[in-house]
Amino acid sequence: MAFREYKIGSRVFGLALGGSMCITLFFPSFNMREAVSTEIALDKQLTTGWDAGWNLSDPFMQGSNKPVRVWLESEGQYAYVYPAGTRMPNAVQHPDNLGAIVEKLSMEKGQLAKAAEKGRSNPDGAVFLIDIDQDSKQPYIEYATATRGWNAADVLNAAADENVQHIGAGKSMFVREGCWWCHTLLPEQTQDWQVFGAPPMLGDFNGESPTAFGSDRKGPDLLHVGSRNASREWMMLHFFNPRLVQPHSIMPRFDYLWGSVDADGQKIDFDKWRADYTAYRAGQSPVPPDVPVPAKDSKARALIDFVLSLK
Ligand code: HEC
């Protein structure tokens, strides 16, 4: 009697083990590289550059050596500017990660191979654009330094500050500050759609490093947060102290990302600010103290640029 159960048990066990072995053997044979980059993927990899996580060109995660995205009013499109010494994006070294069609277009029409000749350390600076091929409707990367003779320093100097976005440095802050402990960048294939917007597609991730999906939510998903709330001022107040705009928020304040001076070069007196804020919370003052505008090169500015780019 007992022997029969033993036989059934061992067969079920064999089936489960065999099944999991098949998954182990066959799953890696899906070629992820067959995913073709979408325009979103190209934008993400060109804005964040080689790597927005820990890497040797930014060992202390200061957001240094990152590209910037510049809005070109005359062209009606973005340029991705890599100042001299900023490591080239992933697609330059590994164009096959773009997916076959986008790789071909970027190589032929976009002259991407010429960027690879410069070496990944990028001694002269580089400017990239994203174009759409009229026939195939596929996006591709144009190496504008070769195709149009654009120089990184010139494009940067010609741009007004409000058209320059430090998204790459901001993503480093997102990773460094652990925003992903509380926020996902991944609306799920459930009712999540109705609240947080469309989930991403496979091709949205080509060349992105790191992805920063997050795994746990204590706050809202942020993949499309810039579409729900495009107010730079709200973001500024919320990062300085979330309780200014959401009285019961559990989000920590990130005021230290402001550094020591504000946009006018004035020293920020954090002790005074907190004393005034405490007085406001205690009802001794009708309004909270003003939040300093972050300096151009502050980490707070970069983080806000990144968050507002999440459309
Ligand atoms: C301890 C968890 C926690 C951490 C860490 C955290 N947040 Fe939040 N965040 C929240 C919660 C909860 C909310 C909702 C309440 C609020 O708006 O403050 C929120 C709201 C937000 C919103 C507004 C979302 C919307 O839908 O309008 C943004 C933007 C945001 N957080 C960005 C960040 C960024 C960027 C970081 C990292 C620098 C971060 N958060 C770190 C918990 C967190």
For the stretch 262-282, pLDDT in tens is 999 999 999 999 999 999 999
Query: 179 CB less than 6 Å from ligand 1?
Result: yes
Side-by-side strand order, sheet with 68-72: 139-143, 126-132, 77-82, 68-72, 164-165
For a substitution probing ligand 1, which of 61, 181, 183 has the most ligand atoms within 8 Å of its CB? 183
Residue 48 near residue 86, CB atoms below 8 Å: no
pLDDT at site 1: 60
Q: What CA–CA distance (Å, rounded) separates 150 from 82? A: 11
- Whether the CA torsion 103, 108, 109, 111 is positive or negative: it is positive
307 lines ligand 1 (CB under 6 A): yes
Report the pLDDT value the prediction gives residue 140, as an integer from 0 to 100. 98
For the purposes of burial, counting CB atoms within 10 Å of the CB of 14, is it exposed (0-12), middle (13-18) or buried (19 or more)? exposed
Nearest atom, ligand 1, residue 257 CA: 38
Q: State in Å: Cα 171 to ligand 1 middle.
A: 15
Distance separating alpha carbons of residues 90 and 68, to the nearest angstrom: 15
What is the 8-class DSSP label of residue 35?
S
User: pLDDT per residue over 146-170, tens digit each?
Assistant: 999 999 999 999 999 999 999 999 9
- The token pair at 246 is 């959401």
Copy the structure tokens of residue 96: 């096959």
Question: What pTM does this model have?
Answer: 0.91
Residues constituting the chain? 311
In the reported structure, the alpha carbon of residue 52 is separated from the centroid of ligand 1 by a whole-number distance in angstroms of: 20
Q: Which CATH class is domain 172-309?
A: mainly alpha
* pLDDT reading at 83 higher than 70: yes
The fraction of the chain above a pLDDT of 90, given in percent, is 86
Residue 30 has pLDDT above 80, yes or no: no
Closest Cα partner for 207 from 85, 89, 125?
89
pLDDT surpasses 80 at 218: yes
For strand 126-132 and strand 139-143, is the pairing parallel, antiparallel, or unpaired? antiparallel
The structural domains of the chain, with segments of one domain joined by +, span: 39-169, 172-309
Q: From 175, 223, 251, give the residue whose CB has the most ligand 1 atoms within 8 Å, as the site to mutate.
A: 251
CA 240 / ligand 1 centre spacing (Å): 12
Q: Is it the case that residue 244 has pLDDT exceeding 80?
A: yes
The angle formed by the CA atoms of residues 219, 302 and 71, to the nearest 5 degrees, is: 115
CA 129 distance to own-chain centroid = 17
Q: Where are the beta strands (DSSP E) in 149-214?
A: 164-165
Number of Cβ within a 10 Å radius of residue 89:
30
